[in-house]
Amino acid sequence: MDKLVIEGGIPLRGTIPISGAKNAALPLMAASLLAPGVHRFTNVPRLRDIRTMERLLAHMGAKSEWNHGLTLDTASVGTPEAPYELVKTMRASVLVLGPLAARYGRAKVSLPGGCAIGARPINLHLRGLEDMGARIELEGGYVLVRCGRLRGTTITFDQVTVTGTENLMMAAALAEGETVLENAAREPEVVDLAEYLTEMGARIEGAGTAVIRIQGVDHLKPGRAHAVIPDRIETGTYLVAAGITGGSLQLTHCRPDHVDAVIRKLLAAGLVVQTGADTIRVEAPADGIRSVDAATWPYPGFPTDMQAQFMALMTLGDGVSVIKEQIFENRFMHVSELKRLGADIRLDGRSAVVRGVPHLSGAPVMATDLRASASLVLAGLAARGRTDVSRIYHLERGYEALDEKLRAVGARIWRERE
């Protein structure tokens, strides 16, 4: 297994191209199950999670090929089943549930279980499918779904759920009649999925708002080649990388409007940020990082997937920052590791109270989840001396060529065998 070694303290300067969004590509790949045939996606990031979804679709009989993007042929899908071995490595596997139920009238999908950041139940996905007429049983750790054609209905989510909204939007695309999703997730990834589904022949209105209306159709067909939206969390992570190292970066191939809430926090922290049509220029503050509070919230709020990285920045702030995690009950696993690098952080329920320190010092650290790992890399880039980040398979789930991209802007970061 590899670890990342970082010699910190170098201000990053240069240009970083942003990759396609993992959390947009995964539901798009699942959507290919809704219509047998050849689906083409461009700007798909080469990541562990994407490979896992490829393997999951292959298990069902799909064929995939990389050639200037990803081609998925779902013509021979015949096993509507997601086994535990694959689901346990990637929770987003649950995204096949809605498409399989709608297209095949049956599905056997392993329950994803909890993970480092929280319990993460899928009750809202299941209840929604039941409301649409599916019979659901839990057996041997699997969700078994049986249904005739799903029926449109009104579903009001108790809580905003991103993959829940995506799953039910995909199921509703082939249902009979109208489905209304209320309190739906408004994330850009939901909009990207709705755009491709529409391209496939689905009738969807309101994606990107809290109420999505879907008129079910009898058949869907593969759409034209679809370009995955840029990764807003990767974008945010590199914005912080410039600020925390005292550097300046130009990010290209990104969507500045998708990181609005993050940019506003970074401006409050003193960073200089200028946006273009698909570029962002970011510079560290000349007079040090200002401490600011943040609270996570569904889009367009401050993303939970940026909480750990923002906390890394705040460890070097000029005062006290209170960071409140309001989406996941346990997304603070990075705190104890950041403390090993010299950060002053106290946990108080769902808040972290971060008192800025003048500098961080390198140390061996271990990551427990994807964004926690990113926060440790950021802290390591700023720290004096050497930081070893182990368990980088977490990072490989969600960051394409992270070490290469950072090296290209001057970071001293490399892989070593553990």
Ligand X SMILES: CC(=O)N[C@H]1[C@@H](OP(=O)(O)OP(=O)(O)OC[C@H]2O[C@@H](n3ccc(=O)[nH]c3=O)[C@H](O)[C@@H]2O)O[C@H](CO)[C@@H](O)[C@@H]1O
Ligand Y SMILES: C=C(OP(=O)(O)O)C(=O)O
Active site residues: 115
Q: Which stretch binds ligand X (CB under 6 A): 157-165, 169-177, 222-230, 249-257?
A: 157-165
Q: Could you tell me which of 144, 148, 143, 112 has the C-alpha nearest to residue 132?
A: 148
In the complex, least distance from residue 246 CB atom to ligand X, rounded to whole angstroms: 29
235: helix, strand or coil: helix
69 binds ligand X (CB under 6 A): no
The answer to whether the annotation marks 43 as part of a ligand binding site is no
Helix (H) or strand (E) holding 166: helix 162-173
Total length of the chain: 418
Is 126 or 174 the residue whose CB approaches ligand X more closely? 126
Tokens standing for residue 48: 């562990």
DSSP bridge partners of 146: 106, 135
Considering the complex, what minimum distance in angstroms separates the CB of residue 306 from ligand Y?
A: 9
- Which strand ranges, in their side-by-side order, compose the sheet holding 364-366? 364-366, 386-390, 2-7, 412-417
Query: Is 109 among the residues that bind ligand X (CB under 6 A)?
Result: no
Interaction of residue 395 with ligand X, rule CB under 6 A = no
Does 399 help bind ligand X (rule: CB under 6 A)?
Answer: no
- CB atoms < 10 A from the CB of 23, how many? 23
CB 358 within 8 A of CB 352: no
* Residue labelled with tokens 């609270």: 295
User: How far is 58 from 374, CA to CA, in rounded Å?
Assistant: 30
Nearer to ligand Y, 150 or 335 (CB): 335
Q: Write the binding mask 313 to 352 for ligand Y: x where contact by CB under 6 A, - elsewhere.
A: ----------------------------------------
Distances 414 to 63, 168, 313 between C-alpha atoms, Å: 34, 42, 22
Residue with tokens 């109208």: 178
The one among 92, 168, 200, 376 contacting ligand Y by CB under 6 A: 92
Taking the least distance from each CB to ligand Y, the nearer of 265 and 371 is: 371
Which of ligand Y, ligand X, none sits in contact with 42, Cβ below 5 to 8 A by type? none
Q: Which residue ranges are tagged as binding site?
A: 22-23, 91, 305, 327
Q: Which residues are near ligand Y by CB under 6 A?
A: 23, 91-92, 305, 370-371, 398
Binding site for ligand X (CB under 6 A): 23, 26, 91-92, 118, 120-125, 159, 161-164, 189, 304-305, 327-328
